[in-house]
Every structure is written in C-alpha cells, then in structure tokens.
Amino acid sequence: MSEEGLDHPLGLFPRATLGLKDFGQYFSHEFIARFYATIHSNPETKQFIDRLSAEEFDDLKHRQADHLIQLSDPACGVDALRNAAMHVGRIHSMIGLDVSTLSQAYKLQVDLIGQGVNRYFPLKGDRDLVRLFLYERILEDLVGQMASMQKISQEQVEVLHDIEETLRTTKPLADILRTVFDLVMTVSGMRAVALTRPDDDGVLRVEKYSGDLIRHYLEAMQTGLAHSSSVRDAYVRDPYERAWHSGESVLIDSYETGMLAPWRVALARDHHVRSAAILPIMDAKDHVQALFQLYHTMPGYFSASERQSFLSRLQGILSTVLSPTLTDQPVILHQQRQDWRALLEHDGLIMYFQPIADLKTMKIHKVEALARLRDSGGRLILPGDFLPAFGQRELQILFTQGLYQALKARRRWEAQGLAVGISINFPTEGIGYPVYWREIQKALAATQTAPSNLTVELLETEDNAARSVEQWMGDLARLGVRLAQDDLGSGYSSLLRLGRVAFDEVKVDQGLVRGSRHDPRKALEFIHHLTGLGHDFGIAVTIEGVEHLGLIEAAAILGADYGQGYGIARPMPADELAAWARQFQLNVEVMQPRTALGAFAASMLWQMQLRALTPLPDLLRYFVKAPCPVSHYIHSQGLEETDLAHTLQALYVAALQGAGDPQYRQVRRHMEQLLADRAQVEASATM
C-alpha cells in the first residue's frame, strides 16, 4: 500500500472532508453495535467479554469507537494510523482474538462503509473518493493489526527459545532466576512474575520477583493488610493452595469477577493486573517443588488457546531446570537475598580460618579460608545460607575479596613468626573462566605471595570433567598455585579425574567420615581406600570432618597426610590464629592409640597383615604373638578385666588358624562391635 494511497487528497473535495466527521460517528456506533451482537458466535471471544466487568467492557467499546473515528479522519496521518493499528492488534492478540474474528470485523466494516457512504455523501464523485479512501484505511488497519498479532505470537516463541538457550550455560540458581524473570517480563503486558516456595511451616514465601505488584504485596503482608497462603491447610482457600495440592496449573481469568479476596482485587487493580497463571514446578516424581506465578494486564490472557502451549512449555522448562536445585536449597526470601548481596558489596565479608594439621609432624600445615557475612548487628551468616542467593557476579566478588583478605592475613601471620599456606574454595560456577585466573595472578602479585603458598580447592561437578576445563586447571597449576580436589568420594567423576589433572592434594568428603559413630568399619574403610588411591597417584590426602581425637587417630593410623575438623580447631578470625598456633599441641602415636576408634583403625590394618601372612604359618605365629595396637589401647585405658581384653586374647588364639577360619571371623566381629560401642561413647563425650 503506497503512502500516496493512504493520504488521499481529500483536501481537493471539501464537501467529502466535512462529511467524514459525521460518517465517523455513524461508523463507530454501528460497528460496535453490530459487532458485539454477533461476537458471541466465537466461544473464546465470548469468554473474554464475559470476564470483563461492566466498567471494563464500556472502556473497551469506548476505545474501539475512538479508533474507528480515527480511521475515518483524514487528519490522521500514515504513521499515526499504523501505530494505532499495531496497538489495537497487540490488544486483540492479548485477549485471544483470532484472525477469523478479525476478518469478520473487516467484512462488517466494508459493509458499513458501503451503506454509510450512500447516506452521508449524496454526490457520486464524493462517494467514490470517500469509499476508496476508507477501503484503503481499513485495509491498512487490518494489515497492521495482523502484523502486530503475529509479532506478539512470535514474541512468546522467542522468549521460550531464549530461556532454553541461556539456561544451557547458566548455573547458579540466582542467575537462572534472574534470566528467566527478565525474559518473561519482556512479554507484552506482563506486569509481574514471582517464585514462591513453602517454608518449614508450610507458608508460601516469595523467593524471587519482578514487578511492583509483588513488592506492594510483601509490604501489605508486613502491615497485616494481606495474608500468606499455606500448603499445609486441609481446606484449600485460594488458587495458590489449589495449584500446590493439585499439581495442575491454575488460571485466574479476572481479578474483578473471580471471587477473590477483596485485598487481592484491590492490589491487582492498583497495578493494572487483570489475570494470572500459577504454574507448579514439578520434580522427576511429579511432586510440587515451587509455584511460578505470572501476572498480566489483560483479563483472560492466559486462557487464550495460543497461550496454553506457551505456559505448558514454560512449566516444563522450569521444572527440568529448577527442581533439581530447589530440592537441595532452603527457602530464601527475596528481601534476604538483596540484604546478603548488599552486605557482600559493602564490606560485609569477613574471612575465618580453620587450621589443617599435618598428621605426621602433628603441626599446623596450612589454614583454609572460609567466608562469612557479618551484618550490622555483628551476626555471622554462614556460606550454606548465603551462597544459594548468589549469582555469578556475586560469586566472583566473594572469591576475589576473600582471596585478598586471606593473602593479606597470611602476610601478617608471617610477620608474627607463623608461616602457613592458605587454602581457599573456588566457586564451581567459575571453573573454566579466565577472569578468575587473572584475579588470582593479580592477588598474588599485589600481596607478594609465592604461588606455592596458595591452594585452590575445586569441587567436583559433572560439567568440570570436560577436557577444556581440565586444560584450564592445567593453566592454573602452571601459574604455580597448588590444586586440591575437594570432597573426594562424593561422586564418580572426581575419582576418574585424579589421573588426568595434576592435583597436589585431595580432600576426602566429610560426609563419608560422619558415619563413623554408627558404622565405624565402613567410614574407616572409606578413609583407608581413598587415602591409598590418592597415594597411588602421588597425591597428598586430607581427611575433613575429624571432629574428635578418635577420628584424628584413625586418620593418622590409616595413612592420611592431613586432618581438618573441630577436633583440631574451629574456624577463627585472622587475628586469633597466631596466638592459637603457639599453644597448639596434638599428641597422636599411630602405634599407640588412646581411643577406641584409633584402636579400630589399627585392628583393621592388623587384620590385613594377618590375611597376607596366613599362607606363611611360621611368620603368622610370630606376628600373632607380637603386641598389637589394640592391646596398647586396652592397657592405656585400664580395660584389662573387660570383655574387650578377653575377646582380644581369644582373637589371638583363633588367628593362629588364619584369617579364613570361621572362629577367627566370629571373634573378630565381636571385638569390632565392642570397639564400635566404645567409640560411640567416647565420641559422644567429646561433642
């Protein structure tokens, strides 16, 4: 359509121009009357009309009338006409009006033009000119509306595509939520988005949101003007509870006519929200983990047929991406997330340091730097609380600030006569990113720290086993810093990677050690075998979670190089470490255990030696007659007249028949149970 055709020179025919004003009134009035008389033949459009309040319906018709009058007004230029058509098409798309209904409206407009022109323009020349002018205008309007409707439809497809593409490389939950929320909020007419999860009391809490509607809802909660939904109530009061209990999406077509709580209606009206969708986020077992809520300016927006595929696909994407992470993370309120980020960015980070002891020299080997956030009241917030609230940007700030604090503290200790290395956790999400490598290099140079005095601890993930990441680790090692594989044994890929990456140390996952109270043999076997595996690769081994002397003794007896845990020291501020180190003593003799768990570990090694000597009777008899570490434990604790001492003597007798003898195996199991019982009592006494 040429611009010349749209801007028809009606100025040459003043009679036609004057008549169009009256025609515009007729055109708009007749169209609205006839259109809504027949619109109910389309069930979906009828549903939209039925959702409107009387006030909203009147406003809709008024806006349509203004648009039709504008169409017939020669003073309305090309750009204004096209912009108006795009705007109307956008609205029609959002209310679910389909192309067939739009075509029906166009046909009605053509009929009205034919009838009205004859009435308002008596001269044939005027009629022909006006008819051509109006036909071109309504056709341009139709084309503009259809283009706008297509754009709105394509917009949703692109939003879903962008979410999927972005989430392929986005890892921290905070960044995932930020990405999803930013993209969903680009949908035309979207006013707010929220993610809610129940707290320990079953009350749905807002973890993340966009839009003033949710902010004002939270403010209303604080003043008592609004109330939370609870998923523990047997009686389902509102749509949010219904979505949680049913596991099915719930659509609110109209806050004005939906029989909702008055405060919800008022809040939605204040923020021009008319409809909502509540999508349950499901885990692999179809259990609801969270609710994802969307709020729109149009009544019935989410009920339109073309929106169903959008909502279904969005729900599927979010369930796949979010549910594995949400399962393991506590509920963190939106305001709490903001507060913790503010603390990080405004000098709220403070590093604590936990000593790591050398189990051979019984001296301090190094310290691990552990992040804390300190609020205005002096309260310390632990990483397990605040880390889930951080995205990639916050994690980079945390690591960089923490590294500088730790290296500066090391220099102060060195000046006080305490020369120890620093170990620091590396954010999993940063593995492979060169910016971290550069920050480490800059921090070492700025603090004049030899790279060998810094150990970077790397957690295992499925993603960081890739060759490209291993190359990045190699580059880090070539910088001169030491690399430690953290939480060895927490997954299979960490074991595979030991042979491919030049790790200097491994740290055995403390989750494997915690079971020592209930199943000492299993826990000690983990320590023994993983220590042996590390040593086979020429790598030093640290046992984490040594909470008492028994675990320290056991780790040392089983060959571990280093120990870390409350049994050695709790994390402490930097200015307390030097004084603590001066008075530190750790008295452990691997051949003379003073704890039941240490004796248990020693007996495991004794039994292994016994199996090796079973085919050699002469050496076997000599070995059995020699004192063993368990006997030293019995004597050191004054247990000579106990069942444990008698069982040990019975074990010596049975052992002469070899490790495969049934009597020996029975006596051995009994002695292990006695040691396990005593180990549990000793551990409880030190807690």
Question: 286 in the Ramachandran plot: left (φ > 0), alpha (ψ -120 to 50) or beta?
Answer: left
pLDDT given at position 414: 95
The answer to whether 484 and 368 have CB atoms below 8 angstroms apart is: no
**pLDDT of the residue at 490:** 52
428 within domain boundaries: yes
Structural domain that includes position 389: 349-583
Q: How does pLDDT run across 273-289, given as a tens digit for each residue?
A: 989 999 999 998 999 99
Residue 180 falls inside a structural domain:
no
| Residues 475 and 436 sit within 8 Å (Cβ to Cβ) | no
Cα dihedral: 610, 615, 620, 624 (round 10) = 30
Query: Quick check: is 387 in a domain?
Result: yes
Same-domain check for residues 374 and 417:
yes
Biggest distance spanned by C-alpha atoms of the chain: 132
Whether 479 and 429 share a structural domain:
yes
pLDDT confidence of residue 6: 46
Q: How many CA atoms lie within 13 A of 144 on its CB side?
A: 20
pLDDT of residue 675: 94
Q: Where are the alpha helices (DSSP H) in 121-194?
A: 124-167, 173-184
Tell me, yes or no, whether 144 and 195 share the same domain: no
pTM across the whole model: 0.80
Q: Are residue 377 and residue 501 in the same domain, yes or no?
A: yes
Say if residue 434 is in the same domain as residue 547: yes
List the beta bridge partners of residue 541.
506
Report how far apart the first and last C-alpha atoms of the chain are (Å, whole number). 85
137-192 pLDDT per residue, tens: 888 888 888 888 888 888 888 999 999 988 877 778 889 899 999 999 999 899 99
Q: How much is the pLDDT for 570?
A: 96
**pLDDT score recorded for residue 40:** 63
Same domain, 534 and 386: yes
16 and 44 share one domain: yes
Residue 5: the pLDDT is 43
Rg of the chain over Cα atoms, rounded to whole angstroms, equals: 37
Do 305 and 370 belong together in one domain? no
- Strand ranges (E), 273-408: 275-282, 288-296, 349-358, 364-374, 380-381
Q: Considering its fold, how many domains does the chain have in total?
A: 4
CB 374 within 8 Å of CB 343: yes
Higher pLDDT, 261 or 43: 261
- Whole-angstrom Cα distance, residue 610 to residue 617? 11
CATH, residue 282: 3.30.450.40
Q: Strand runs (DSSP E) across 378-466, as ranges?
A: 380-381, 421-426, 454-458
Higher pLDDT, 274 or 405: 405
Instruction: Kindly tell me the sign of the dihedral angle through the C-alpha atoms of 316, 320, 324, 329.
Output: negative
Do 297 and 416 have their domain in common?
Answer: no
Residue 54 lies in a domain: yes
- Residue 558 is given by DSSP the state T
Residues 6+ apart with CB under 8 A from 197: 204, 205, 207, 289, 290, 291, 326, 331
Residue 447 in any domain: the answer is yes
Residue 441 burial (10 A CB sphere; 0-12, 13-18, 19+): middle
Residue 337 lies in a domain: no
Average pLDDT over residues 334-348: 93
Q: What is the pLDDT, as a whole number, of residue 228?
A: 87
pLDDT, mean of residues 545-561: 94
Determine the pLDDT at residue 516.
67
State the Cα–Cα distance between residues 60 and 187, nearest whole angstrom: 22
Q: Which of 107, 142, 159 is the last residue of a domain?
A: 159
Specify if 323 maps to a domain.
yes
Q: In this predicted structure, what is the pLDDT of residue 382? A: 95
Q: Are residues 278 and 213 in the same domain?
A: yes
Distance of alpha carbon 24 from alpha carbon 687, whole angstroms: 87
Rounded to whole angstroms, how far apart are CA atoms 528 and 602? 11
Same domain, 564 and 675: no
Can you give the CATH number for the domain in which 119 is found?
1.10.490.10
- Quote the CA–CA distance of 331 and 324 in Å, as a whole number: 14
Same domain, 549 and 413: yes
Where residue 396 sits, what CATH number does that domain have?
3.20.20.450
Distances in Å between the Cα of 13 and the Cα atoms of 128, 130, 226 are 12, 10, 62
Sheet holding 250-252, edge to edge: 204-210, 190-198, 288-296, 275-282, 250-252
Last residue of a domain, one of 583, 611, 626: 583
Burial class (CB in 10 A: 0-12, 13-18, 19+), 30: middle
CB 558 within 8 A of CB 605: yes
374 vs 169: which has the higher pLDDT: 374
> Where a domain ends, among 583, 611, 637?
583
Residue 165 forms part of a structural domain:
no
Evaluate whether 278 touches 293 at the Cβ level (below 8 Å).
yes
List pLDDT tens digits, range 326-337: 887 889 999 999
- State how far the Cα of 575 lies from the Cα of 350, in Å rounded to an integer: 12
What is the pLDDT at residue 101? 76
Q: Is 70 exceeded by the pLDDT of residue 578?
A: yes
